[in-house]
Chain A
């Protein structure tokens, strides 16, 4: 079903496929029918079994990273997703060496066009604007297109009076687009200022990993900030901090549980409860149907981008 939203005819060249590179997320993508070994506890299980368990290890509850389509499948009501802005492509503003090749390579490998998929869908019947980042796509990094898609999703949520749910998974701003990537932090946050200022509900769900420019912009700005167990969440990378302060960091440093203990999250929610949690939260924010909280006056006064 979800595959339908990605065009089959590609407008970019597909490079000859080499043996799959064991990238961060890659080693967990094992073809159907094979066995999977849990990174955390070593339990061996059928891939299908893992998929049926929302990609959570039956041995230790380790939450495997989910692709954007797996996430949408796990959260939304079946058949309700309509994708937005599929056609946006980066213009490679710095002419960064190797960037275009990297993009077409990653597009071919993942079947995605960018590190975030946005659109309309329903969760337990409630209509929502939803965005899901996919960490397989250049570390889920945010460049011009991710910033634009997230901003447009926020603006559409505002226009259509939809609650907004964003699942983040990102290493931060995309280096290859330099200052343009940095500015997406301000752009998305400014869009949230309008949306939230007008009464819009934004539920942010941190998934493993969310760091750098994404955690330091829209991800941290939820009216409600949730995270999956064990998710790595932080501003600076662990290695950089260890180099800076010259000391070993605690084992659980920058995990969802660590953030919860330090008052940075509303709740850590097991993946098997996440959908119900979202449905409950959406329900709690509806008084007279979708988007009742929106301020009429602000809504009608402001102009929006297409």
Chain B
């Protein structure tokens, strides 16, 4: 476990002990099979215990894990004949969003998604998965193209948020996001969104207006980063742990709120532990979702998507006091 997180340390510790003991047994030609078995059992239990009871803050760390599979990892595993398409035709090509056409089990689909890097160099190239307006405009261009050719759209969402920079503001970050929200609402093809890691506010939602929305088990979706919330609430970004709890950002919370359609299970320890397995469970969800949405007409899809978002909000109607 080269990239272990803080809460994973006890596991790493135990794993080291088991390895040492095994080596010792081999060297000294001792039969420690029973002891090793007990330890392995203990390891399994500890592992189960830790990953079954992750705190929101710990889930957030998994969601942001540097080794977390990215959109391109899933594209490689889920789609054949994939062709990446670039550019917004207005200003440039944003490397923080990738998109293109491929086949999912034989069916041509359009895929768009945020793209993070796995190391510093890659992350700088990808701007840490934080898009500029041209990224959202590229995504919209590809989605409109999908509509023209009656292809379903699959969105992979994983971003800390839209990039807060001067150039982004000059080119209309707000407008780009807003336009995507409106236009996605009126596309006459199935849209399936999967939040694979970080669902960072408006920058995530701009690819998130789907007929079906899923989250990976340890993914998060939030109106503001826990750090940002902590800074605003308690004037202290180091209270992020507390904010992660208060803001209710886990897939389980969001599912309970009725905002998403399902949670995609992750391999034990998180998606990065077994990308192939993760891709397979995503494929299962896509298969089911595409079959269901494939039976609907364009008008039905638009109406279903509208009703889905129309219904979100928690309020009550107070009787007006007499004048």
Q: Please list 26 pairs of residues, one from A and one from B, whose beta carbons are closer than 8 Å in the complex, sorted by A's number.
A: A7-B321, A7-B322, A88-B318, A91-B314, A96-B246, A144-B312, A144-B315, A145-B315, A177-B314, A178-B247, A179-B249, A182-B202, A182-B205, A183-B205, A185-B181, A190-B181, A190-B182, A190-B306, A196-B182, A216-B173, A220-B178, A235-B173, A235-B202, A244-B165, A245-B165, A253-B169
The smallest beta-carbon distance between B309 and chain A, in angstroms, is 5
Chain B positions within 8 Å of A9 at CB level:
321-322
The smallest beta-carbon distance between B98 and chain A, in angstroms, is 22
Q: Kindly list the 4 A-B residue pairs having the minimum CB-CB distance in the complex, ordered from nearest.
A: A236-B164, A189-B181, A190-B185, A144-B313
- A186 CB-CB contact with B under 8 Å: yes
The answer to whether A189 and B223 touch across the interface, beta carbons within 8 angstroms, is: no
Chain B positions within 8 Å of A215 at CB level:
174, 178
- B186 CB-CB contact with A under 8 Å: yes
The answer to whether B165 and A93 touch across the interface, beta carbons within 8 angstroms, is: no
The answer to whether A186 and B205 touch across the interface, beta carbons within 8 angstroms, is: yes
- Residues of B whose CB lies within 8 Å of any CB of A are 162-166, 168-175, 177-179, 181-183, 185-186, 201-202, 205-206, 208-209, 221-224, 229, 232-233, 246-249, 253-254, 257, 259, 305-306, 309-310, 312-323
The answer to whether B312 and A97 touch across the interface, beta carbons within 8 angstroms, is: no
Q: Mark A253-270, 1 if CB is under 8 A from B, else 0.
A: 110000000111000000
The answer to whether B181 and A86 touch across the interface, beta carbons within 8 angstroms, is: no
Chain A positions within 8 Å of B171 at CB level:
262
- A26 CB-CB contact with B under 8 Å: no
- Interfacial residues of chain A within 231-261, with CB under 8 A of chain B in the complex: 233-237, 240-241, 244-245, 249, 253-254
The smallest beta-carbon distance between A160 and chain B, in angstroms, is 18
How many interface contacts (CB-CB < 8 Å) are there between A and B?
Answer: 201
Do A11 and B318 contact each other (CB < 8 Å), given the known contacts A179-B257, A180-B312? yes
The answer to whether A178 and B310 touch across the interface, beta carbons within 8 angstroms, is: no
CA distance A86 to B208 in the complex (A): 31
- A208 CB-CB contact with B under 8 Å: no
Do A173 and B201 contact each other (CB < 8 Å), given the known contacts A190-B181, A190-B310, A262-B170? yes
The answer to whether B318 and A220 touch across the interface, beta carbons within 8 angstroms, is: no
CA distance A175 to B249 in the complex (A): 12
| From B164, B174, B305, residue with most partner A Cβ within 10 Å | B174
The answer to whether A148 and B209 touch across the interface, beta carbons within 8 angstroms, is: no
The answer to whether A193 and B177 touch across the interface, beta carbons within 8 angstroms, is: no
Chain B positions within 8 Å of A189 at CB level:
178, 181-182, 185, 209
The smallest beta-carbon distance between A219 and chain B, in angstroms, is 7
| From A177, A181, A186, residue with most partner B Cβ within 10 Å | A186
Instruction: Name 19 extra pairs, CB < 8 A, besides A89-B317, A144-B315, A216-B178.
Output: A9-B322, A10-B321, A90-B314, A97-B246, A173-B223, A179-B248, A185-B178, A185-B202, A189-B178, A189-B185, A212-B202, A216-B162, A216-B173, A221-B182, A235-B173, A235-B174, A236-B164, A240-B164, A241-B165
Q: Which residue of A lies closest to B133 (CB)?
A: A235
The answer to whether A244 and B164 touch across the interface, beta carbons within 8 angstroms, is: yes
Do A7 and B320 contact each other (CB < 8 Å), given the known contacts A178-B248, A235-B169? yes
The answer to whether A91 and B316 touch across the interface, beta carbons within 8 angstroms, is: yes
CA distance A262 to B91 in the complex (A): 13
